[in-house]
Amino acid sequence: MSPGLLHALTRAPIGDARREHAARRYRPTKRDFHDMPALEYTLNSNNTEHRRLRTQAANLRAHTKTLLDATDLKPASSAIDLGCGPGGALDLLAERIGADGKVIGVDFDAASVAGARAFADERELINVEVIQADARNTELPSSSFDVVHARLLLANIPRPDEVVTEMARLVRPGGWVAVLEPDVALRACYPPHPGLEQLTELLVTVARRGGADLCIGRRLPHLFATAGLINVGIRARADVCPPRHAQRVVCLDLVQNIGHRIVAQGPIDQRELDRLDRDARRHLDDQDTIVVPVTYFLAWARKPRR
């Protein structure tokens, strides 16, 4: 375990932050990642997806700030970002807790971990450490963090309740679990476009067959309560995205990401998938088309004090 992570979990003084910053390394003590079963994740991890995720993080920045406001995350606190991908909310968390706090980013995918470490280096986030671990079983000590955060993680994996249980285990008594997740069923496009609807339904169906739920946002209070969390709060955000806004075509981008799986499982071939994508994008390029691509649910809950 690295010195930075040890400081974060024991609340010891951080000391030479830049030395710790250069030593962002963690390996599980119980087993090697080569022996671990792959964490099933709906989307493919590649450079295109990492670029999309970073753009998405910028677009969701205001919503993430609103979510963190509900947790009252203070300077010198500790926070963990589960499923941080190539950057996640590491910068926002680091900004809130300051130089005397500590942020841990967690992702199972090695390329995402490397991307997140580069993200932290580029922004000189000296209070951030990124580790490779399974969000369902991080092997980090219980009751270690003031805030446990995840964004768009639960929607993309089977058995999201296991991640929520791990979040509840990691947070300190009195601390907060904070999650931002989508509900793709709560969307709007006017005038409607049959091709866009068909592609979105294919996306939801293929994700569901893999055990993921792209409409999980509405389920968050139930998941929190089942994990023993209290003081649950929830808000919904449905943004009207203008033409050329990246979020306007988010469902189409996700379809492209898993297109090979749609073709393998679905009733259409690659040529038809490409045609539907072109027609839908042409419709969304029209400035007179009104688009609410997805509704995001912001939910937070507290771990009971002993």
Is residue 200 situated within a structural domain?
Answer: no
Is residue 121 situated within a structural domain?
Answer: yes
Task: Let me know: does 119 contact 84? Beta carbons within 8 Å.
Answer: no
CA–CA dist 143, 140 (Å, integer): 9
pLDDT of amino acid 72: 86
Task: Let me know: does 149 contact 298? Beta carbons within 8 Å.
Answer: no
pLDDT tens, residue order, the chain (306 aa): 444 454 445 443 333 343 343 333 333 333 333 333 444 555 556 677 778 778 888 889 999 999 999 998 999 999 999 999 999 999 999 999 999 999 999 999 999 999 999 999 999 999 999 999 999 999 999 999 999 999 999 999 999 999 999 999 999 999 999 999 999 999 999 999 999 999 999 999 999 999 999 999 999 999 999 999 999 999 999 999 999 999 999 999 999 988 988 999 878 999 999 999 999 999 999 999 999 999 999 999 999 997
pLDDT of amino acid 6: 41
Any idea how long the chain is? 306
CA–CA dist 241, 239 (Å, integer): 6
pLDDT of amino acid 58: 82
Is residue 107 situated within a structural domain?
Answer: yes
CATH number at residue 102: 3.40.50.150
Which domain covers residue 152, as residue numbers?
A: 3-183+212-238+295-302
pLDDT of amino acid 288: 97
Is residue 276 situated within a structural domain?
Answer: no
Residue with tokens 């470490």: 117
Is residue 248 situated within a structural domain?
Answer: no
Tokens found for residue 196: 């866009």
Helix (H, G, I), strand (E, B) or coil at 180: strand
CA–CA dist 269, 263 (Å, integer): 5
Is residue 146 situated within a structural domain?
Answer: yes
Question: Structural domain tally of the chain?
Answer: 1
CA–CA dist 181, 19 (Å, integer): 35
Is residue 192 situated within a structural domain?
Answer: no
CA–CA dist 142, 100 (Å, integer): 21
Is residue 207 situated within a structural domain?
Answer: no
Query: Closest by alpha carbon to 219, among 255, 248, 186, 253?
Result: 186
Displacement of CA 150 from its chain's centroid (Å): 5
CA dihedral (40, 173, 296, 266) in degrees, to 10, reads 20
CA–CA dist 210, 196 (Å, integer): 22
pLDDT of amino acid 40: 57
